[in-house]
Structure 1
Amino acid sequence: METPLTKLTGVHHPLVQTGMGWVAGPRLVSATANAGALGILASATMSPDRLRSAIREVKARTDAPFGVNLRADAADAAERVRVIIDEGARVASFALAPSRELILRLKDAGVVVIPSVGARRHAEKVAAWGADAVLVQGAEGGGHTGPVATTVLLPQVVDAVDIPVIAAGGFHDGRGLIAALAYGAAGIGMGTRFLLTSDSTVPDAVKARYLAATVQDITVTDRVDGLPHRMLRTDLVAALERSRRPASLLRAVRHAAAFRRTSGMTWAAMVRDGLAMKHGRHGRQLTWSQVLLAANTPMMLRAAMVDGRPDLGIMASGQVAALIDDLPSCAELVERVMAEAAATLARLP
C-alpha cells in the first residue's frame, strides 16, 4: 500500500511504531522496521552516548529505514540532532514542536522531520517551518494527551496543512488504517499496540495488566506530572490522586535525582530543561510546581516498563488497550493489519 508516508520514508507499509520512553528500544524498533513499518527509537531517556550506541544497534539488526524521537526542548537537543545525522537515521521525530533551526539542520542533512502535534495550530506552525510530515495524536492516545478526539482533530489538521499527516490515538487494526486514510491521513501511528507485542521488552507481568484492562480501567490524570496523562488506572494512580501537593513535590525531587543518575545529565542541564519546559512545553507556560512534577514521569514509567513493578510505576496506555487481547510479533501484527485493511477495502461498495 503506497501512500505519501511510505514514499517519504521508504517503508513498505503506512504504519508507525511511536517513540515510547523505556519501551521503544533497539529490539522493538528493529523488529518493526524488519516488518516493513516505521519504527521510532525513543531517546528522551537515553544519554547522547547511549543514543548513538542504540542507533548503531538498530542498524546492526536491520537495513530498513527507522527514526529517532527526541524532545525539542531538551538542553542537548542540538547534540542529539548531530548524533542522528552522524549515524544516518532516516527520520527525526519530535515529541514537541522543534525550532525552525533544528528542522532546517536536519533537512539539510537529508533527514525526514516528523513532529508530533496535538492541535491544528501546532501543525500549521511546523509545516510553515519546513516539517516534512506531522503525526497528530487525539485524546484516545496514551501518555500525554489533549482533550480533542482523533475523529475531530485529524480532519482539522488534514484540511490545514499540505504535508502528509499521520493519525495516532485509537488505532490498532486494519479497519482503523482505512478509516484514517479516508479522513485524508497518509498512515497511522500506534503505541500501545506495538507495546503489546512479543518483540516488546516490557515485562510479561506488566503486559498482562494491559491485556486485562477494560475501557473503564484506562484513565486520564494530571497528578503524575501536572499535565493530562492517559494511563492504566491502578492503586498507585488512585493514591497519587489522593496525595497532597507537598508529598507530590517531594516525590518529584527524589525522582529528579534518580533520573539524573540514570541519564548522566548534570543538574545544570536539568535546570535548563526545566526552564525550557516552563516557557514552551505544550504551547503554554507551566508553573514551577508543574516543572518539578515533570520529573516524576520518566522514573515512574521506568519502574513499570523496565523493572516490572506496576505497584511502583505508571503504565501509559491508549484506550485501545481495552481492545487488545494478544501478543503477536511485530511481523505478525503488521501482516495482520495490512490484511485487515485489504479486507476492509474489499467490503466497501
Structure 2
Amino acid sequence: MRTALTDLVGVRHPVVQTGMGWVAGPRLVTATAEAGGLGILASATMTFDELSRAIDEVRGRTDRPFGVNLRADAADASDRVDLLIAKGVRVASFALAPKQEFVQRLKAAGSVVIPSIGAAKHARKVADWGADAVIVQGGEGGGHTGGVATTLLLPSVLDAVDIPVIAAGGFFDGRGLAAALAYGAAGVAMGTRFLLTQESTVPDDVKQQYLQRDLNGTVVTTRVDGMPHRVLRTDLVEHLESSSRAVGLYHAVRNAGRFKKLSGLTWRDMIREGLATKHGKEQTWAQMVMAANTPMLLRAGLVEGNTDAGVLASGQVVGMLADVPTCRELIDSIVSEAEAIVAKLPSLL
C-alpha cells in the first residue's frame, strides 16, 4: 500500500508505531520495522548513552528505516539531535513542537522530521519550519492528549497544511486505516495497539489488565502531572483523583528524586527541563514537579508491573482489543483488511 508516508520514509506499509516511554525499545521497534511499518524509539525515558546503545541495537537487528522520538525541551536535546545525525537515523520524531533550529539541522543532514501536534495552528508552524510530515493525535489517544476527537482534528489539520499527515488516536485495525486514507491522511500511528503485541516488553500480567478493559476503561486525568493524561482506570488513579493536591505533590517530589537517580540527571537539569515545560503555559510550580513524577509512575506500571504504584497510559481503543498478536501479524492484518475495504468502495458508486 503506497502513500505519501511510505514514499517519504521508505517503509512498505503506512503504519507507525509511536514512541511510547518505557515501551518502544529496540525489540518492539525492530519487530515493527521488519514487518514493514515505521517503528519509533522512545528516548525520553533513556539517558543519552542508553539511546546511543538502543540505536545501535536496532541498526544491528534490521536494515529497514526507523525513527527516534525526542523531547524538544530536554536539557540535552541538542546533543541528541547531533546523535541522530551522526548515526544516520532516518526519522526524527518530536513529542512536543521542536525548535526551528532542530528541524533545520536534521533536514540539512538528510533526516525526515515528523513532529507530533495537537492543533492545526501547530501543524502550520512546524510546516513553515520545514517539517516533512506531522502526526496528529485526537483526544481518543493515550498519554498526554487533547480534547478534540480525531474525526474533527484530522480534517482540520489536513485543511491547514500540504505536507503528509499521519492520523493517531483511536486506530487499531484495517477499518481505521481505510478511514484515515479516505480523510486524506498518509497513514496511521498507533500506541496502545502496539503495546499489546508479543514483542512489547510490558509484563504479560499487565497486558492482561489492558485486555480486560472496556471502552469506559480509561480516564483523562490531570492529577498525574498537571496536564490532561489518558490512562487506565486503576486504584492508584482513583486515589490520585480523590486525594488532596498536597498529597499528590508529596508523592511527586519523592518520585522526582527517584527519576533523578535513575536518569542520571542533576537537579539543575531537572529544574531546567521543568522551566522549559512551564514556559508559555499556565502551569503552577506544583504541576511542574508533578511532571517530573510521571516517568516513575509509568515505569512502575509498564516496566515493573506494579500497578498498585504505577500508572498505565492507554488510548480509548483498549476497549476494542482482545488479543496480543506479533507485530507482523498485526500489520499484515491491518493492511489486508484496509485493501479489501478500499477495493469494495467503487461498487458503492
TM-score of the aligned structures, taking structure 2 as reference length: 0.98
User: Equivalent residue for 1:274?
Assistant: 274
SS of equivalent residue, structure 1 residue 307: coil
Q: Which residue of 1 aligns with 2:261?
A: 261
1:204-233, CA deviations, whole angstroms, 9 ceiling, x for partnerless residues?
010000001011211111111111110110
Counterpart of 1:299 in structure 2 is: 296
Following TM superposition, by how much is the alpha carbon of 1:285 offset from its aligned partner in structure 2, in angstroms?
3.5
Inter-partner Cα distance in structure 2 for 1:285 and 1:97: 17
Partner of 1:161: 161
Which residue does 1:343 correspond to in 2? 340
Question: What is the aligned-residue RMSD (CA, Å)?
Answer: 0.7
1:77-96 pair list within 5 angstroms: 77-96=77-96
1:320 paired residue number: 317
Residue of structure 2 in register with 1:127 after alignment? 127
SS at match of 1:189: strand
Q: Supply the AA of the counterpart residue of 2:309.
A: L
**Aligned match of 2:186:** 186
* Mapping 1:50-65, distance limit 5 Å: 50-65=50-65
Q: Does structure 1 retain, via aligned residues, the 8 Å contact 2:69–2:92?
A: yes
Distance in 1 between the 2:289 and 2:309 partners? 19
**Which one is further off, 255-264 or 18-27?**
255-264
- Give the aligned partner of residue 285 of structure 1: 282
CA contact (8 A) 2:274 2:292 kept: no
SS at match of 1:69: strand
| 1: CA distance, partners of 2:45 / 2:95 | 13
Count residues with an aligned counterpart.
346
Please list, as runs of the form range in 1=range in 2, the aligned pairs for 1:193-204 lying within 5 A after superposition.
Answer: 193-204=193-204
Percent of aligned pairs with the same residue? 65
Q: Distance in 1 between matches of 2:312 and 2:294?
A: 10
The structural deviation recorded for 1:161 is 0.3
User: Structure 1: where are the runs of 5+ without partners?
Assistant: none
- The CA distance in 2 between the partners of 1:261 and 1:84, in whole Å, is 25
CA distance in 2, matches of 1:315, 1:10: 32
Q: Does 1:308 align with 2:305?
A: yes
Offset at residue 347 of structure 1 (A): 2.5
**Aligned counterparts of 2:283 and 2:81: Cα–Cα separation in 1:** 26
Shift of 1:73: 0.8
| TM-score after normalising by structure 1 | 0.98
- In structure 2, give the amino acid aligned to 1:256: A
SS of residue matched to 1:216: coil
What is the SS of the residue equivalent to 1:140? coil
Secondary structure at the counterpart of residue 279 of structure 2: helix
State the AA in 1 paired with 2:168.
A
CA distance in 2, matches of 1:228, 1:264: 27
Equivalent residue number for residue 32 of structure 2:
32
The answer to whether 1:110 aligns with 2:72 is no
**Where does the alignment leave 5 or more consecutive residues of structure 2 unmatched?**
none
Q: Counterpart of 2:212? A: 212
